[in-house]
Amino acid sequence: MSSTTEYILSLQEEEMRVWICEHLEDEDADEETPGWDDLAQEWSYMQASYEDNFQQNEWYISHSYSDIHNTFQSQINKLKDLFDIPVATFHEETFYKMAYGHAVTLMESFLADTVRSLIITNDDYFTNAINNVDCLKKAKFSIVDIAKQKDGAKGFAVAELSKVMYHNVSKVKDILNAIIGKRIQVNITDVSTITTLRHDIVHRDGKTTDGKLIKVDREIVIDTINSIEEFVNTISSQLDSHKNA
């Protein structure tokens, strides 16, 4: 293996380490930390997805923004339908935890796809993004990074924004504000609390950092789904209004 190849691999490994530590919210995390292996696999999938970025970007161009919201609505309705199916008492706790986590995942997917769609399909939004979104303004890139992208600067911007933790709703709201050049009026208090709880559910099996067990039952999950749906619908409505203004 050449020294150049080794150097590139070491940079990639360090980039992965930093990304995983941010997601675990633990700068000292390593391979022995719970959740590390799952995030390492997610990172691997994300890197592999670079090969498909061009096709993905073409999808955003050929589909309207409303398709992203419609997809979210379809998936959240399917999740709601599951609550009409009887669940054995023995499985209730696991089911509610999974439903809670999936609802947050659907919200994250909507936010990530929305950000990508805005900068890919609108040159003004793209200009706003590279001038006003911190992670793009401060991005350091090499020829290797550029070579990964088949569609130039927009592809690189999408790749950088794919590293954003989309459960950090406050940060995502700031990104959307920067892209459209206007403040989105939406209350993030409930969804911020929801994403914090989701972190405890996914990474600590429903316990807080001090070991306190968190209650997740049917009523809580349904309220969570409704809060997420309301939040997404508000974001979508305001973006539609801004684009059609």
Question: Identity (one letter) of the amino acid at 165?
Answer: M
pLDDT band at 149 (very low <50, low <70, confident <90, very high): low
| Longest Cα separation, the chain | 59
Q: What distance in Å separates the CA atoms of residue 81 and residue 158, rounded to the nearest whole number?
A: 33
Q: What distance in Å separates the CA atoms of residue 170 and residue 104, rounded to the nearest whole number?
A: 15
Q: For residue 161, with 0-12 CB atoms within 10 Å meaning exposed, 13-18 middle and 19 or more buried, which class applies?
A: buried
Residue 198, pLDDT score: 85
pLDDT band at 138 (very low <50, low <70, confident <90, very high): confident
pLDDT band at 148 (very low <50, low <70, confident <90, very high): low
pLDDT at 7 over 60: no
Is the Cβ–Cβ distance between 242 and 206 less than 8 Å?
Answer: no
Tally of CB atoms within 10 A around 14: 10
pLDDT at 186 over 70: yes
pLDDT at 183 over 60: yes
Tally of CB atoms within 10 A around 54: 12
Is the Cβ–Cβ distance between 149 and 53 less than 8 Å?
Answer: yes
Is the Cβ–Cβ distance between 111 and 162 less than 8 Å?
Answer: no
- Write the DSSP assignment of 59-118 as a string of letters: HHHHS-HHHHHHHHHHHHHHHHHGGGS---HHHHHHHHHHHHHHHHHHHHHHHHHHHHHH
pLDDT band at 3 (very low <50, low <70, confident <90, very high): low
Residue 231: which of 121, 104, 98 has the closest Cα? 104
pTM over 0.75: no
**SS percent in the chain: helix, strand, coil, step 5:** 75, 0, 25
